[in-house]
Structures are given as structure tokens and as C-alpha cells.
A and B are shown apart, each in its own frame.
Chain A
Amino acid sequence: MERRTFLATLAASLAPRLTWADVGAPAFLAAGKQGEIFFLHGLTATGTSLFRIALPGRGHAAAAHPVRAEAVAFARRPGTFALVIDCATGATRHRLTPPDGMQFNGHGAYSLDGSLLMTSEVLAETSEGRIGLWDTRTYARLTDWPSNGIGPHDIKRLPNGRLAVANGGIRTDPVDRTKLNIPDMAPNLTLLSEDGALLDQINLPDLRQNSIRHLALCGDRIAFAMQWEGDPAEPVPQLGFWTPGSAPVLCNPPTAQAFTMQGYAGSIAATPDRVLITSPKGGALMLFAATGSHLATHLRADLSGAATAGGIFTVTDGQGAVWTADDAGLAPLATGDTQWDNHLVGLS
């Protein structure tokens, strides 16, 4: 390590680390575009921006450190970098670059104690999945594990330390994101142990073109959201539940709403008894009970970000609005001129 880098790293690790409470205790992180500039915002539970930090370009998702006011913002796929941002000062503390021949693939998760960051990654040439591990004291690369699938996207840490991985199954061109294997794609949902060992895995033999992409924890189950790459005229589910050790359960809306989501779920969020999925393509969100039954559908153009705080669902859209959603409907919390991006990240 060069002396200068070493000193900078040392300074960073010795500087006082402010907590989320020190920056106003935001409930969510959200990226958005205002004018031509992309920002990362900290939002209160009612959608008010507490701070905003300029980003170098459009991001995909962020991950929040469990204690420190620190977030990692991931570039859009194929991701060549991720930025560790000090949310108190707005400074970029670290710029993470995956090892040669690898790319970030959109999402990341911290360990429970915040000592490790895990990132979804692919080998650029084959889209074979890896989970990168980073030491959050210095954000040095530690190692990586196989994700046990192609094109991992979202990852979620379980309360017991295990890691759920949505291996989307899609091989993409390393440069332009073109999908290369749609006819024979094979997504899976994988459970890894705390040290990266494969514990369990499911796939959807009858729905192999339904890419498993986003995850949320619903009680002790993993709720997963899918994006259909097959014939758009076929009605397919966008939501499933998985309890490791058993078969997945898929959830269908009523037939009359089979195409409302246009085969696409962009984000997913869950409380212990509800799951919410959004479809920016369909301009809709759906709420399902933890039992799998469809509860409600609410329409709003370009809805995408979804998260929970205190058991309440919050969703964001590309038209600048932040909403609260329940079975009865959508109610606006805040509106402005920031176009909210794909994902809303809960800090609870």
C-alpha cells in the first residue's frame, strides 16, 4: 500500500464515526435525480430529505451500515465501482473496485455487527456469481464466495447471519448488459452460511424464465420478487415465499390482474404479515398477506422504491412523490422535483 493511501485509510479509520442518530436518524436512503444531477438522500419516515449527497452518476441500490452513518452506493450494472459515503459529511470515504474480470451486480448487504460488507458480483465474461467480502474498517477486499448461480442481483442478510442470494439466472454482456441466455436461463434462490457454504437452494423448474431478483424478509421466511423474461402473454407470478428446507410457494393475483404488473416486480418490502411489490412498468403495487393471498392493488405511474419503517410501507416514484401504502390505498407523504430511483433502502 502506498504511504499516502495508507495515511488516508488510517485517518479515515481513526476519524470519529458518527452514527445514523447524529445525522437526524433517517428512516430510509434513496437515490434520485434532480435536474441532471444524481443524489443520495436520507429521508425521514414522512419522506422529508434530511441530507443529500451528489453522486457521480445514476446508481442502482445502496446499502446502509447498521450503526455508522455510512452507506455504499452501487453503480448500475455492469458496475465497475461502488462508493462508501460518509453521510455526515458527504465525503466519499472509499471507492470500491471489484477484482479484475469481475463486476458489481447492483446490491450489497452488511453483516449484523457491521464489520463486513457483502456485495453481489459476477465474473464479467460468464456472469458466474460471486459474493465479495470487504472489511469495513478499511474496506479492504477480503475474499469472495461462489453465489452458486448465474447473475446474482439482490442479497439479504438473515438475522441468524446467513445470507440469501437471488441468482437471477441471466447471463449478460459484460459491456452493454444485453441478455445472452434467455431461452435457457435458470435462476435460483440460494442460502449461504455465515462463512459462505451452500446450505440450501431452490429453483422454479416450470418458470425458468422468471428471474428471481429482489428479496425481503417476512418473519422467518424469504419473500422473493421476480421478473418474467418469457412470453408476455403468459400470466406468471411475481412473488414467492421460501422457508429454507421446504418448497417455495408462489403467489398469484386474481386473474383479472394477472397482467397488471406486466410480468415485472421492481422492488419488494415486507413486514411480518405483509409483502409489497412494485412494478414501474405496470404502474402498480400489490400487497399480499404472509399467507400468500392477494390483498390489494394500487395504481400509480412509475412506482418503484419500496421499504418499511415501523411496520409501515413507504414507496417512491419517478415523478417525485413519496407515498405511504396500506391495504386501503396510497396516500402522498411528500412531493418534490427529485425523481426517485429504483430502490428505497430501509435503515431499521
Chain B
Amino acid sequence: MHHTARILIAAAAMAIATNARADTAAVVQDHIRPGFSAFAEAATTLAAIDSCDLETLRPAFNAAYDAWMQVAHLNLGPTEDNGRGLAILFWPDPKGSGWKAQRALLDGPAPSPEQMAQQSVAARGLPALERLLYPTEALLTDRCPLIHATADDLAATATTLSSAWGPFGDLMLTAGQPDNSRFLKPEEATQTLFTQLATGLEMLADRRIGRPLGTFEKPRPDLAEARASARSLRNITLSLAALKVLALTLNPDSPKTQAAFDQALSLPEAIDPDTDRLTDPQVWLKWEILQQAVRSTRDTAIAELGPALGVELGFNSQDGD
């Protein structure tokens, strides 16, 4: 995009922002849009590598994964549309459907970018690349074409996603205006972001930490996210840090929430990043303490930010029947 065009778009966004609630505007402009833009850039850098050397590809893969962790908790709007979020990170995959689909692709001719975009979301994105870049079994077929097809598809998805956050961000910034039928009241956009914060912390505790944690009798390190690339604990830390940014951008003056995040964020450094060590009761307990700290951070954030922002979690979504 031309530099001038960027400036014009930024100016338009700022003009719109004057009508939005400050909390929502800050998150859209300082957290969401830069985050998706950085991810698109990292995915594009990865796709541009004209090599099949695993050691050459892995740093760019990790940079893209790191960038995704800054925005992975923002599962709304363009991320939810067309299953884009799932096409970037289909995890957990308890039935191993992603690898099954990839095996079939490896046996045939290399898919074109268009064909790749039509594949099951389980066969695409970061976990699909991880299985190709960190193989756990020897393969007879050349995986190089599929690596490039998967990386190209990821870059295309990331670029589309980042662009789509332009107009969708504008919808959030114009919440409550007469022609906005997506967000009927100004506080609805804020409530949506507040819900993402609560849901993101739940997912972190229940899935990223909870699945490998299993039970004391039966830890399940094999269920950890990004285990082959040894990113499991790193992803937990990055996700927690990104959720902290979301919380404090939504409501900068949140001392209890900030303290709860800082407490939780202090825990991973004392944990061995090797998930296999979860079978050691001492290590298992450290993971469990981390999970409790994340849950307690969620409770604190809901209690502190909800009243400050004047929003609640969903009336019906929290009820259930």
C-alpha cells in the first residue's frame, strides 16, 4: 500500500474514533489493528522464504507464531468470519484430523494456493506448518511443495484478515451510530472486547494449560499445543502477556488486574519448558498453580473492569439451560 493511502486511512480512522468510547477506540487502534498487521507481516516474511531447509524456515515460523499469539484471543469479527481463526490455528485437534488430511495432500500433486484455501481448516495454518517443519516421523515424499503451499495460504489468510480489520474496526469505532446494525449501542463494542478478555483467559486456563495438565494421576503432555516445536509454555506466556495488554488498554487504571497478571506472569519462568516433565509431580504442581493464577486473574479482571467499563458478561451466555 502507498504511504499516502495509509495516512489517509489512519486519518479516517481517527476521525471516526472521536465518536467511539475511549476504551474501545484504544483497543482497536493500539492493540487489534497493529497486532493483525504485524502477524500479516510475519506470515508474509515466512512465505517469502524460497528454501526448504528446515533450519532456515523455523525462525520465521516461530516469529509468525509469536505474532499470532498477540492476537489469537481476539476471536471476533473478521477472525471468526469464514473460520479464519481456525484456518490459522486449528488446535486442539484430538482426532488428528489435520495430519490425516495433510498425509493425503503429501501423496498427491502439490496443491495450488486456491486449492489450499479450499482444504479443511485442520490441514492449514500454523499447526500444519509445525507438523511439516518439525516432523516426528520419516516421510518418503518431498514435503517442500506442501510447506510452501501452506505458508502461502497462511500469508494470504493473514493479509485478508488484517485488511478486514479495517472496516470491522470502523464498525466498533462507530458503535451506536444510526447506520451501524452490528453494534447498536456504544457499550456493545466495549462489552464484546470485555467478553474476549474473559473468554481468552478461560481458554488459556482450560485448554493451553488444562489439556496437557490433565489430572494429577494422569498428566497429558502429549496434548500440549505446539509440542513438536517446543513452544507450549512460550505460547502460554505470550497469550497471558497479550491478554494483559488487552485488559490494560481497555481500562488502564486497573491495579488489581495488573497485579493479578503480573503474579501469573511471574510463574512460567520457574517452570521447565519441556512438557514431558509434566509427569513429575513437582512440575505438575507448578503448572496447576499457573492455571489457578490465570483463573484468578480472570475473576479479578471481571470484577474490576466490568463495573469500571459499565459492562457485564452476556446475560444468556453465562446462564445456560
Q: Measuring CB to CB, which residues of chain A are less than 8 angstroms from any residue of chain B?
A: 33, 60, 76-77, 106, 153, 213, 227, 231-234, 254-260, 264, 266, 280-281, 283, 299, 301-304, 317-321, 330-332, 335, 339-342
Contact = CB atoms under 8 A, between A and B. Distances in A.
Question: Counting chain A CB atoms within 10 Å of each CB, which of B77, B191, B314 scores highest?
Answer: B314
Contact of B316 (A232, A257, A318, A330): A318
Contacts of A254: 83
28 contacts: A76-B321, A106-B321, A153-B321, A233-B207, A234-B95, A255-B83, A255-B121, A255-B122, A256-B121, A257-B83, A260-B80, A264-B320, A266-B316, A266-B320, A266-B321, A280-B319, A299-B80, A301-B188, A301-B191, A301-B195, A301-B314, A302-B315, A302-B316, A302-B317, A317-B316, A319-B188, A319-B191, A332-B181
A259 B89 CA distance: 13
A259 B315 contact: no
A335 B320 CA distance: 23
Contacts of A339: 315
A234 B315 contact: no
A255 B92 CA distance: 14
A332 B316 contact: no
A280 B314 contact: yes
Contacts of B82: 256
B120 interface: yes
A39 to B, nearest CB: 14
A106 B319 CA distance: 13
B321 A342 contact: yes
Nearest to A214: B321
A333 to B, nearest CB: 11
Given A301-B192, A318-B317, 18 more contacts: A106-B321, A233-B92, A255-B121, A256-B82, A257-B83, A259-B86, A260-B80, A266-B320, A280-B316, A281-B320, A301-B191, A301-B314, A302-B317, A304-B316, A319-B184, A319-B188, A319-B315, A332-B184
A335 B184 contact: yes
Interface residues of B, number: 32
B110 to A, nearest CB: 22
B315 A33 contact: yes
Interface in B186-214: 188, 191-192, 195, 206-207, 211
B94 interface: yes
B80 to A, nearest CB: 6
Nearest to B122: A255
A256 B121 CA distance: 6
A234 B94 contact: yes
Contacts of A257: 83
Contacts of A331: 181
Q: Most B CB atoms within 10 A — which of A260, A266, A303, A319?
A: A319
B53 to A, nearest CB: 32
B80, B82, B206, B315: which has the most chain A beta carbons within 10 Å? B315
A301 B122 CA distance: 26
